[in-house]
Amino acid sequence: MARIVVIGGVQVDAEDPCALYQALYAAKLKLLAGERVEETEVRSPVTHQRIRVSVASMAALDAELMRLAAACSAKNGQRSRYAKRMRFTGGNRCL
């Protein structure tokens, strides 16, 4: 049975990692563009302060996007690729 959640005004199946990834990535882009910033004001007879606050943790969003990307790849039968690193050292040179 499909479990529907709403992310950014779009209904998404919570059991489908590919659909969740797309919806969360769109939400991240909006957050980066500054569309999800909330602003509040505090006024008194002496002072006036305006506070702007972001409503999400970018690190938590990135971690969830990585998890969903891996789950989506596994669902579609694709393997994750890992880059191999090599390091050359300057020892044992022949002249």
Q: Is residue 58 part of a domain?
A: yes
- Measured CA to CA in angstroms, residue 61 lies from 20, 51, 64 at distances of 12, 23, 5
- 62 assigned to some structural domain: yes
Length, in residues, of the chain? 95
- Give 36-76 pLDDT, tens digit per residue: 677 788 888 888 888 877 667 778 888 888 888 888 888 88
pLDDT band at 87 (very low <50, low <70, confident <90, very high): low
Residue 39 placed within a domain: yes
Domain count within the chain = 1
In a domain, 94, yes or no: no
Dihedral sign from CA coordinates of 78, 69, 14, 25: negative
Q: What is the pTM of this model?
A: 0.56
The residue range of the domain holding 13 is 4-75
The pLDDT assigned to 61 comes to 82
Contacts of 72-80 with C-beta under 8 Å, sequence gap 24+, read: 72/17, 72/18, 72/21, 75/17, 75/18, 76/18
34 inside domain: yes
Q: Is the pLDDT of residue 35 over 80?
A: no
Tell me, yes or no, whether 20 lies in a domain. Answer: yes
Using the 8-state DSSP alphabet, how is residue 78 labeled?
A: P
Stretch 7-18: mean pLDDT: 87
Q: Return the axis-axis angle of helices 17-32 and 58-75, rounded to nearest 10°.
A: 150
The dihedral through the CA atoms of 3, 54, 34, 47 has a sign that is positive
